[in-house]
Amino acid sequence: MKMEEGMQLIDGNGKFNVEGLKDFMTATGFAQCGLSYAIVAIIGPQSSGKSTLMNHVFGTNFKMLDAYKRRGQTTKGIWIAKCNDMKPFTIAMDFEGTDSKARGEDNTAFERQSALFALAIADIILINMWYKDIGLEHAASRPLLKTVFQVMKRLFKPRKRTLLFVIRDHSKTPFEYLETALKEDIDEIWDSVAEPETSRSVVLSDFFNVEIAALSSYEFEEENFKEQVARLRQRFISPGGLTDQREAEPSSGFFIRAEKIWKTIKDNKDLDLPALKVMVATVRCEEIAEEKLRQFTTDDDWLALKEDVQDGPVSGFGATLDSILETYLSQYDMEVIHFDQHVWNAKRRQMESQALEVVRNAYDTMLEYLYSNTLESFKTSLEQLLKGGEGFVASAGTCAQSCFLQFDKGCEDAFIRLSGWNGSGVRGKLSRHMLSEMMAKHVKQFTDVLADEVQSLFEAGEADTWVSVRNLLASKTDVAESELSNAHVDFEVPRSEIDKRLGYLKENARSVVERKARESAATGRVLMRMKDRFVKVFNHDENSKSGAWTSEQNIEEIERNALSASLKILEIMAAIRLDQTTDQIEHALFSSLMDGNGAVPASGATPDLLTSNAWEEVSPNATLLTPVECKSLWMQFKADIKYIINQATSAQGTLRQAKRAIKIVVGVAVVVGAAVVATVGAPTAMGIAARPEVAAVMKEVGPGLAAVMKDIGPEVLATLKDIGPEVAGAVRSLGPQIVTAVIAMMTNGFARPHQQ
């Protein structure tokens, strides 16, 4: 395609040549011109030499009228061509004549459409007019000017364009006169066009810079024509010339702008065309933004940063990402700066938003690392401080402040300036979880101590066990609540959150007590404690010292006391009593399980209150052992301790029998000894007692015999009186050794009291 010859942009039927314009822009390099370009259009009557003028001024090669053929329509529709040797890059547009007979009744419609398109798309509009039409009411140029001015007033907001009136076939009339007359005509036509009702009064200069040029006849004064055309050309290419007086839009938007403008004109001639500038800017800015966004998403530095974040926190994350984003945003700004500012600003914000969507996951991952690492640090440091003996409140405060500082520094490092994001949401989550960790440690510490002390109270089984448990629960809970209330200020959570957690603390403390109560109320454990209590009371004296069973002790009374103490444990463990409610469990147990002898009352003696599965005045949730279970436990307990009671009774009987036997034996020994002394005489008896072999025997039996003799009671002495004569006879039959031992015992026995 020879660009100087041009291409038909819009054909005679008003069809826009989409593919042709694409090829034209590619072939000419028009799309890459940026702002350095100009659009020049020419309108005027048919066969007025428009194409000839464009070819000579701009170096194009539009088809021209052959003067040797009949006059008629040469240019159909709208053509465009690249101007030769023009700086800046210039596009020339040649329009179909505005008074063509070929169109007939359609002339007015296409004339308006063409004029409107020229005004909308071009920076400079050349209006080709005949010299002879100046000052004439019915000249061909007047309807054209009126059309142009009507369009401007009705549809356009004020924006300066250049209207260059080219007077053709100028002859002898001075140019100054023509210029004055033409400007008067222009003002008159402008004033004759009615103002829109919704528009303020506007003047011609609000819309146009009016320029005037005159050319001699090309047909009869060709040389003069060419000289004048050369001077006209200079007005376009000289610095500060006509093509510099324009409001530029990027050349890359020309394709979209031209197509949209023509479609709008064809569809709705009354549409406010300047809005198309916004439309073009919207399309182009979107395209540029999409391209920059695509480049960003495939940027090697971004992809490397994104991958690094998956492996752990990246130092300088925010600054690095800001730098990458700024590169592509700056490129966008440079490419769209000359489009409508409101549009490119809006599209920039949209691009920023889309870019931030791309990086959001990486940013969130960074914050998640900060959250998890900080939380883990809090757990570790709090554990270490508590193990080191630091107070709970002080430890929690120190750890919280240190960890929040660590988290805030990490958020600052990850901050993306463009986003305005902050870690407040994650920080709040961290604060709540740190508080939960702190509370979990505190509750564990608190409940462990509480559980141990409550367990000790249940194992002790004192009469006031539940009073002690209630007091312990209240005092421990008060201390724990105070500590948590003092510690919460470092975690930046609402008071309502603390109150909620304190409520949980109370509930948890109560549940710990109830749990320990249920554990302690297991039948095996209750039975064991009852037997331990029975053994302790039954086998120990009032000073809790073990003692042998003596004949004076009342085993039945001791048994009743031990049974009563054991039954008290059963009563304590029958129900949970944290609410200070009264019940009849003790009465029911003692009246049903113990009579005066510590046994189960006889049938019918008292009503059996232990046949139910529930206690009166005790809720099922507070019941640990039902009446039936208590009765069963008691029966098993009685069976288990029966052996202990029988052993005690047997031991006491054996002791009594042994004591009686010893007393009798000792008494006999005394009588025999007396008889021996009487038989052999005291001197002889003393001699026998002095023998070495007798001394050896006495050394072994003497102390024991002396102790027994002290315990001889009156009943033994009475017995000895009765058996004395019989013993004397028996002495004669005893062997010498036995007699000798008896004499020695008697001698020592009687001699010792006299020595004292």
Residues with Cβ within 8 Å of 479's Cβ and at least 6 positions away in sequence, in order, are none
The predicted structure's pLDDT at residue 71: 43
Residue ranges of the alpha helices (H) in 76-192?
A: 107-121, 141-155, 175-192
Checking if the pLDDT of 442 tops 90, the result is: no
Mean pLDDT of 721-732: 53
Q: Dihedral sign, CA of 522, 525, 531, 532?
A: negative
Position 567 scores a pLDDT of: 92
Counting every residue written for the chain, the total comes to 756
Q: What would the DSSP string read from start to end of 96-108? A: PPTT-GGGGGGHH
Has residue 5 got a pLDDT over 90?
Answer: no
Q: The tokens of 670 are what?
A: 């005394």
What does the pLDDT read at residue 703?
61
Per the model's pLDDT, the better-predicted residue between 193 and 315 turns out to be 315
CA dihedral 39, 44, 49, 52 (to 10 degrees): 10
Mean pLDDT (whole number) for 490-501: 77
Instruction: Report how far apart, in Å, the C-alpha atoms of 703 and of each of 526, 587, 655, 700 are.
Output: 49, 56, 21, 7
Least confident range from 284-288, 542-546, 629-633: namely: 542-546
Q: What local confidence, expressed as pLDDT, does residue 255 receive?
A: 86
Query: Confidence class of residue 556 from pLDDT cuts 50, 70 and 90?
Result: confident
pTM over 0.75: no
Percent of the chain with pLDDT over 90: 23
Average pLDDT estimate for 363-376: 93
Residue 101: closest CA among 52, 141, 147, 47: 47
- State the Cα–Cα distance between residues 193 and 196, nearest whole angstrom: 9
Q: Is the peptide bond before 250 cis (omega within 30 degrees of 0)?
A: no
pLDDT of residue 72: 43
For range 33-45, the mean pLDDT: 85
Compare 347 and 95 and report the one with higher pLDDT.
347
* H or E stretch covering 470: helix 465-487
Tokens representing 630? 């208590």
CA of 662: how far to CAs of 222, 720, 731, in Å? 174, 13, 20
Query: Is residue 740 scored above 80 in pLDDT?
Result: no
Q: What is the CA radius of gyration of the chain?
A: 63
Per-residue pLDDT at 502 exceeds 70: yes
Query: Which range in 267-276, 476-485, 686-695 is most confidently predicted, on average pLDDT?
Result: 476-485
Give the mean model confidence (pLDDT) for residues 330-348: 88
Given a contact cutoff of 8 angstroms between Cβ atoms, the answer to whether 410 and 403 are in contact is: no
Alpha helices in 50-106 (DSSP H): 50-58
pLDDT score for 352? 94
Three-state secondary structure of 404-427: HHHHHHHHHHHCCCCCCCCCHHHH
Phi and psi angles of residue 543, each rounded to the nearest 5 degrees, phi first: -95, 15
Residue 105 has pLDDT above 50, yes or no: no
User: How far is residue 435's CA from residue 6's CA, in Å, rounded to a whole number?
Assistant: 78
User: For residues 580 and 682, is the Cβ–Cβ distance under 8 A?
Assistant: no
Q: Hey, CA dihedral for 228, 233, 238, 240, is it positive or negative?
A: positive
Residue 165 φ/ψ, nearest 5 degrees: -85, 120
Q: What is the pLDDT of residue 272?
A: 52
Task: For the sheet with 161-168, list strands across it.
Answer: 7-10, 78-82, 89-95, 37-43, 124-130, 161-168, 208-214
- Per-residue CA distances from 528 to 45, 219, 230, 516, 555 (Å): 125, 137, 127, 16, 22
DSSP SS3 for 33: coil
Give the pLDDT confidence score for residue 750 in this predicted structure.
47
User: Does residue 620 have a cis peptide bond before it, meaning omega lies within 30 degrees of 0?
Assistant: no
pLDDT for 756 equals 40
pLDDT score at 67: 44
Average pLDDT of the chain is 79
Q: Using an 8 Å Cβ cutoff, are 493 and 437 in contact? A: no
Q: Which two tokens stand for residue 402?
A: 């240190």
Which residue shows structure tokens 């259009």? 41
Q: 298-328: per-residue pLDDT in tens?
A: 999 999 999 999 998 999 999 999 999 999 9
Cα–Cα distance, 92 to 90 (Å, whole number): 7
**Span of 260-264, 370-374, 405-409, 623-627 with lowest mean pLDDT:** 260-264
Q: Which residues pair with 81 in a beta bridge?
A: 92
CA 674/CA 720 separation, integer angstroms: 11
Cβ-contact 148, 183 below 8 angstroms = no
